[in-house]
Amino acid sequence: MSRTALTSNNSGGAAPPLARGGAPSPSHLRQAARSSGSALIVVAALVVIWEVVAVAMVAAEVPSAETKLSAPHLIAQRIVDEAPLIADNLRVTATGALIGLLGGVVIGVAVALVIAQTRFLESAVYPYIIGGQMIPTIALAPIILVATRNPTLTRFLVATSITFFAVSLSTLKGLKSTSHGALELMRSYNASRLQVYRRLRIPGALPFFFAGLKIAAPLAVVGEIVVELTGANSGLGYTILVSQYYGPNYATLFWAAMVITLLLGVLFYTAAVVLERVLTPWQPEFRGQ
Amino acid sequence: MKHSMVAQRAAKMLPPILLAVLVVGLWQSGVFHRIFSLQEFTVAYPDAIARAIGAEAEDLVRHMGYTFLEAAIGFAAGSSLGFIAAFILSEIPWARRGILPVISGLAAMPIIALAPLMALYFGLGIMSKVAVIVIMTFPPMAVTTFKGLTSVDPDLEDLMVSYAAGTKDVLFRLRLVWALPYIFTGLKLNVTLSLIGAIIAEFFAARSGLGFRMSYALDTFDMPVAWATMGLAALLGVAWYQLVAYVERRSIPWHVSMRGQAD
């Protein structure tokens, strides 16, 4: 989502910390391990607080306490009990998000590659790609759903359109940020346009592309959830909605679906991070790790 | 000089305007409808949407104002909380190790899934929307501001210390100023997030707002009005974003990202 973060990091003068220290040493690794250890402790502490508050709310006889805040152990129990149901809906949401994300990536990269070729096209399209980040595009989901009466198509259109903007903008920035020195060098060796793209521009654009992908991946999940919350009849968002209305017996299912949904966003983001590390291990940030 | 700059700007605006005219023209003349076999009663023509806006202008502007109010309150509260959290974390190194990853994780979560829950907690009032927006806008602001506060060039800090600058001076004259571009990045992200949060949360519990009106229009299959609410939401998003971008240009004209953008 931090599309503009790209600007201030990569083209901006505010150099990120990685410019400072050179290649991260093994101490970097140790630090990362320690950091995730501490994060786990924080998460565990939060879950304990959650548990205590939830139990206290039931004890204090807060109206519909279970729906307002289910206890983590009950939620976990429900996830186990309803594993097939949750898995089915998780599959619907995750598949929709993944297909939409792929669509957004393919179209976004294609558009970036095409409009990078001609200045006229770029100047015509670029303002709208920028504008895409100012507009609450996701709000189109319920309209598209009613217009098409086709949840599957709506899922695809919504997830694709919101991920498109993040990917095309970052990729285009990447394609345009090739160093002039390197370009001159390629030219002096009489490299063809295709060679320049294959060997220089595209590899150079990859870090930007991944910055966009890390924004787009969780957004794809948001798109699916909004489609499901506003009318589709399957998926985790749908499970959240119906289990809220089915009454107290479904309170823990309501929370189970919500927790799985939130974690799905983290999963998509993490997948993008891992993919970046695997495909661009040469980035300064990752060197020596 | 001045004259050529105006001409340059006009030349820059021409291609996007041509594209807009082309797209609206193809839409209005039904070319898109034929290509994608769309129905007029589902995907309204631009003139029908414009008529819908004209006919219900007063009503729609009221809804727009309400959505903006919700979004602005949530935006201000969420962004402030994010800023405060980032500031505290940047001051307490041992706290950041565990908490910052958790906030980053929160930023990747589809918080909008909490909208029905917030409706349950806060009902029809403005709080049910504001709560969603606060939770949505808090993490991005915390992450970007933290990055800004902790990425200060150490040489500059050394320089200030060597001039016997106190902690307070370093904070106000260097670290906060250095963090400004990052803070604006967070604010710009939060503009769109606030509007999304407001509009979608209005689907679950609201008596007014663009999302509420959209939901009602969709229930009654009043498609031109539904498209009109989306158009107004887009307009609101662009205007608000431009406002933040304007304040940014005024506040940090020295930053590299702003060069050549002075107005």
More confident: B171 or A155: A155
> What is each CA distance from B191 to A151, B76, B186, in whole angstroms?
28, 10, 9
For the question of an ipTM over 0.90, the answer is no
Q: Are A56 and A187 in contact (CB under 8 A)?
A: no
Using a CB–CB cutoff of 8 Å, tell me whether A133 touches chain B. Answer: yes
Helix B93-107 / helix A26-59 crossing angle, nearest 10 deg? 70
pLDDT at B212 over 80: yes
Mean pLDDT of B140-156: 90
CA distances from A78 to A240, A267, B106 (A): 13, 21, 23
Contacts of B257 in chain A (CB under 8 A): 7-8, 11-13
What pLDDT shows up at residue A20? Answer: 39
pLDDT surpasses 70 at B86: yes
pLDDT of res. A19: 36
Nearest to A148, CA basis, from B34, B36, B217:
B36
Q: Enumerate the residues of chain A whose CB falls inside 8 A of the CB of residue B112.
A: 222, 225-226, 229
Tell me the per-residue pLDDT of A217-255, one tens digit each, with 9 for 90 and over: 999 999 999 999 988 889 999 999 999 888 778 889 999
pLDDT of residue A3: 38
Residues of chain A in contact with residue B200, where contact means CB-CB under 8 angstroms, are: 138-139, 226, 229-230
CA–CA dist A62, A54 (Å, integer):
10
Q: Which of residues 28-57 of A touch B (CB under 8 A)?
A: 34-36, 38-39, 41-43, 46
Which fold is adopted by the domain B42-258?
A: MetI-like fold (1.10.3720)
**Whether pLDDT at B118 is above 50:** yes
User: Of the candidates A4, A135, A143, which has its C-beta nearest B189's C-beta?
Assistant: A4
Do B185 and A134 make contact, defined as CB atoms within 8 angstroms?
no
- Smallest CA-to-CA distance from A257 within A269, A246, A241 is with A241
Paired tokens of B53: 């806006």
Q: Which pLDDT band holds residue A28 (cuts at 50, 70, 90)? A: low
Amino acid at B160: M
pLDDT at residue A10, rounded to an integer: 37
Query: Which A-chain residues 166-225 have CB contacts (< 8 A) with chain B?
Result: 218, 221-222, 225
Computed on alpha carbons and rounded to an integer, the radius of gyration of chain B in Å comes to 23
C-alpha–C-alpha distance, residues B211 and B234, integer Å: 12
Per-residue pLDDT tens digits for A177-198 = 888 888 888 888 888 888 888 8
Reference A82, options A221, A248, A257; nearest CA is A257
Smallest CA-to-CA distance from A105 within A282, A275, A284 is with A275
What was the pLDDT predicted at B260? 55
pTM of the model: 0.87
pLDDT value of position A2: 39
Is B196–A136 a contact, with Cβ atoms under 8 angstroms apart? Answer: yes
Instruction: Name which of A16-30, A93-107, A154-168, B190-204 the model is least confident about.
Output: A16-30
CA distances from B205 to A54, A272, B59, B201 (A): 24, 34, 19, 7
List chain A residues with CB under 8 Å of B237.
Answer: 134-136
User: Which two structure tokens, joined as six digits, stand for B132?
Assistant: 């969603």
Question: What's the rounded mean pLDDT across residues A52-66?
Answer: 88
Closest listed residue to residue A172, CA positions, set A132, A218, A134: A132
Q: Distance between CA A78 and CA A252 in Å, rounded?
A: 6
Q: Where are the domains of chain B?
A: 1-38, 42-258
Sequence-distant (6+) residues with CB within 8 A of A212 are A3, A6, A108, A166, A167, A168, A169, A170, A171
CB contact under 8 A, A142 and B218: yes
Please judge whether B12 and A123 are an interchain contact, meaning their C-beta atoms are less than 8 angstroms apart.
yes
pLDDT tens digits, residue range A112-131? 999 988 888 888 888 898 88
Percent of chain B at pLDDT > 90 equals 58
In chain B, which residue ranges form alpha helices assigned H by DSSP?
Answer: 2-28, 31-35, 46-55, 57-91, 93-107, 115-122, 127-150, 154-162, 167-169, 176-201, 210-219, 223-251
Residues from chain A that touch B202, judged by Cβ atoms under 8 A, are none
Q: Express each pLDDT in B232-260 by its tens digit.
A: 999 999 999 999 999 998 888 877 777 65
